[in-house]
Amino acid sequence: MLVLGIETSCDETGVALYDTERGLVADALYSQVAMHAEYGGVVPELASRDHTRRLLPLIQQVLDQAGASRTELDAIAYTAGPGLVGALMVGASTAHGMARALAIPVLGVHHMEGHLLAPMLETSPPAFPFVALLVSGGHTQLVEVQGLGDYRLLGESVDDAAGEAFDKAAKMLGLSYPGGPQVAKLAELGDPGRFRFPRPMTDRPGLDFSFSGLKTHTLTTLKRLEQDGALDDQARADVARAFEEAVVDTLVIKCRRALDATGLKRLVMAGGVSANARLRERLERETDKRSARTYYPRGRFCTDNGAMIAYVGAQRLSAGERDEIGIMKAVPRWPMDTLRAPTRN
């Protein structure tokens, strides 16, 4: 089955072709980061308009890259949520329009399930079951994964997601959007011993996260340095290092608890923040100590992309799932624990 995957949930237009026999055939991505950087964050209306401009040319680019035509497609998968409703509608309407014209099945899939299963695109994918850390701009969750659609939420952020906290910290530090890579780059120049920021919710049992207090602590530290006339470039780097260390430590501690609680030996990390080099290093060190293993997708599949949507769509479409033609799904808020395993394999 040759499946076209379409991702338009936020500020990246992603398209890919996935074949259930050959694997990933082709993929392309257009990022809107430069456009939104001027505003310090994603502007939903601009995002939707840009998806409209970019999507059809990207679909043709991917087909040309694969040496395929639209008539060779067996099905289409698109991101139905969660995300920005206008951006989601661009992908949904395009997918349903093409599916109707080609008389092929179409299916809306869950964006975070795409991230969750993105490591399956690698040459050495994890086997079920495993613990997954989903860590991005909009979500920070720990999930026990027994199989496709068989998920148990172990813990999640009660306020800001880790990626959102990185973006806000970057803004406080005078860095550009998106904040995660900028904070990580500045942190490399920081003194790890100058400041120690709190590791939120690690002094109590449980697997939930909270990053709003860490954000407030960062702002308070910067204001105090400014009042003392000590907020120079080195101080900013030291604050960035302390902030990154606190986020990474918090995530690692919670992942360790999740592995201990479930008894599992495989940890999957996915989402935009999973590209953070310090986080990868620390989690690999932690799993090595437990004779466990960490899995994550290659860099370009950590952020939003069409390949992960094409993969998940292919699995569910192969099991007989599909939308009713013309009934488009665009779900801005869609809890992942409402997903179910396919009823037919």
9 within 8 A of 3, measured Cβ to Cβ: no
Mean per-residue pLDDT, 158-166: 92
Helix or strand (DSSP H, E) at 306: helix 306-318
Rounded distance, CA 292 to CA 285, Å? 10
Output the pLDDT for position 325: 79
Residue 134 labelled as part of a binding site: yes
Residue 276 labelled as part of a binding site: yes
Rounded distance, CA 120 to CA 24, Å? 11
Residue 180 labelled as part of a binding site: yes
Residue among 151, 251, 248, 254 at smallest CA distance from 207:
254
Domain 2-117+301-338 matches domain 128-296 at the CATH topology level: yes
Alpha carbon of residue 294 to chain centroid = 16
Residue 137 labelled as part of a binding site: yes
Amino acid at 175: L
Residue among 92, 82, 114 at smallest CA distance from 334:
82
**pLDDT tens, residue by residue, 30-74:** 999 999 988 888 999 999 999 999 999 999 999 999 999 999 999
Q: To which CATH superfamily is domain 128-296 assigned?
A: ATPase, nucleotide binding domain (3.30.420.40)
Residue 206 labelled as part of a binding site: no
Q: Which residues pair with 76 in a beta bridge?
A: 4, 106
Residue 50 labelled as part of a binding site: no
Residue 115 labelled as part of a binding site: yes
**pLDDT tens, residue by residue, 110-141:** 999 999 999 999 999 999 999 999 998 788 99
CATH class of 2-117+301-338: alpha beta
Confidence label for 344 from pLDDT (cuts 50, 70 and 90)? low
Residue 110 labelled as part of a binding site: no
* Highest-confidence segment of 80-84, 136-140, 178-182: 80-84
Lowest mean pLDDT among 17-21, 52-56, 237-241, 274-278: 274-278
Domain ranges of the chain: 2-117+301-338, 128-296
Q: What is the mean pLDDT of the chain?
A: 95
